[in-house]
Amino acid sequence: MALTLAMSGCNKQGGVDTALFEKSFKSAEATVHTSADKVVTAIKSADYSSALAELKTLASNTTLTPEQQQAIKDVTAQVQKLIADAASKIAGEAGQALKDVPKTLPK
């Protein structure tokens, strides 16, 4: 939950640029297009675990064009980086909070 909260303040759909992804799936068949829409919706709502799960499902589709395959790879990498950066930030803040605990205890 803290990870979602920490990432929800980012711009550009949570720090993930989906413009090329959306463009590459604009004229896809209905089921593929629906799946791509689910990815974008999940990213916009900072539900990155759902976005990654849907990206994995989408990537397994054998009818994808090379452009669509690359778009999936690019967005997946962006989401994974966003999660890793947020986790790193949270870990750093938690570490600092632990260091500050002794300062708040009575002597």
What is the distance between the alpha carbons of residues 88 and 94, in angstroms, rounded to a whole number? 10
Q: What is the pLDDT along the chain (107 residues), one digit of tens a residue?
A: 333 433 333 335 568 999 999 999 999 999 999 999 999 999 999 999 999 999 999 999 999 999 999 999 999 999 999 999 887 777 766 667 667 667 777 77
Cα separation, 69 vs 22, in Å, equals: 12
Query: How far apart (Å, rounded) are the C-alpha atoms in residues 74 and 78?
Result: 6
What does the buried/exposed string (b/e) look like for 72-97 if buried means 16 or more CB atoms within 10 Å of the residue's CB? bebbbebbeebbeebeeeeeeeeeee
